[in-house]
Amino acid sequence: MADIYGVRITPDDGGKPIILDASMRYASYLGSATMMANSSAVGGFKAQPANSKSLIVPRDLVRVYLATNPAGPPVAYVTGMSFSGTTLNYSAKFVSPNGNTPPAVAAGFADVFSVAYAASPGELYGVRIANGANFMEISDASYAGYVTYRAVININGSWAIPQEILNLGNYIVFARWSNTENPLFLDRSNNTINSYNAFGSTEGSKIGGIVNAVQIVIVSCGYSPALPVSGYGMVIRNAAGQVTYSSKYPPVMWTDAYYDFGFYEDFSGSTGEVQRWVNPTGSVAQPMVPLCSIGLQRGDYSRTSGNYSFRICLYAGFKMNGNAVTTARAKSANSEAAVYMAPKAMQASCQLPCIDASYYF
């Protein structure tokens, strides 16, 4: 935030003010969708503005289903994604002892945002900030994503998403922490952030372990924001009178940075966790990763039956060390699979956008 000129936003939450200058970008929400394992595209999103970059933020990219075969459960997962126009394109895989992919099996779910690059103003309403090299534009094209919660928390096994955030609808959690022992996992079935341990247990894993000093930024999207409580600030309305920007909340600011996770599958029979640490690409001082599940791993507990050894399937969460992040085994899928029939570990190929904690804390 080095520009001399800009707009200073003081949100209602009383936290650190946000400086909107020509070096920043804000993310606007295009929609959400389920990706089916027997397809390769899903539409229905708002149109991506011309001369903009899409940001895909998955909620989960792997699903483990109930087993109907003694060899283990069917597993559906996304292997890669891209966005163009109004369509989310993807590749998906279905691994099952039963053979063919059923017609209605979900493999994942994702939210999509767009960030505009420099261009001539294309909207009738909004604010544009520019210098000789950069620009920032907030317009009435679509709803922005807003930071509706920011705090530094300690997680002792589990931490619940505040009810006031759930009442707003769609949400995404960005986090920054440092802990290589206990992974963090956002469990949307009960809206909690959990840490996990006991990977040799018969359950595959258990909620437990302490992860301290976690910086949390929760983004809510797809709704028209309320006006600032004070009655003062910056508000943008479109021609229909809808509020498309309000300084009640800090906007989602993006500095062209992301974590580039590569696809892999590991069908080995060994125990232990697979870790592949990734550092952020782009300009970011204190990166925050969106909490989601983009992989699958196995627990260490082994049960033998006949000619097969079985281990529990685990949804992957994240571990973070400094600025580096890796997928890591976390929540039990409560289903075991025969070794070699399902991956010991897999990870989807995706670029997870990271925001900078220094703008919010």
d(CA 317, CA 330): 5
Cβ burial of 319 (10 Å; 0-12, 13-18, 19+) is buried
Share of the chain above pLDDT 90, in %: 60
Residue pair 261/281 in contact (Cβ under 8 Å)? The answer is no
pLDDT at 279: 98
Structure confidence at residue 104 as a pLDDT band (50, 70, 90): confident
Q: Is 189 left (phi over 0), alpha (psi -120 to 50) or beta?
A: alpha
When pLDDT is averaged across residues 288-304 and rounded to a whole number, the result is 95
Structure confidence at residue 93 as a pLDDT band (50, 70, 90): very high
Please tell me which of 47-61, 141-155, 235-249 the model is most confident about, judged by mean pLDDT: 47-61
Structure confidence at residue 118 as a pLDDT band (50, 70, 90): low
pLDDT at 156: 97
Structure confidence at residue 234 as a pLDDT band (50, 70, 90): confident
Write out pLDDT tens, residues 10-26: 899 989 988 877 666 77
Q: Which residue has the higher pLDDT, 224 or 159?
A: 159
When pLDDT is averaged across residues 29-55 and rounded to a whole number, the result is 91
d(CA 43, CA 64): 24
Average pLDDT value for the chain: 88
Checking if the pLDDT of 138 tops 80, the result is no
Checking if the pLDDT of 305 tops 60, the result is yes
d(CA 192, CA 257): 26
pLDDT at 130: 62
Q: Which residue has the higher pLDDT, 141 or 348?
A: 348
When pLDDT is averaged across residues 303-318 and rounded to a whole number, the result is 92
Checking if the pLDDT of 173 tops 50, the result is yes
pLDDT at 2: 47
Checking if the pLDDT of 141 tops 70, the result is no
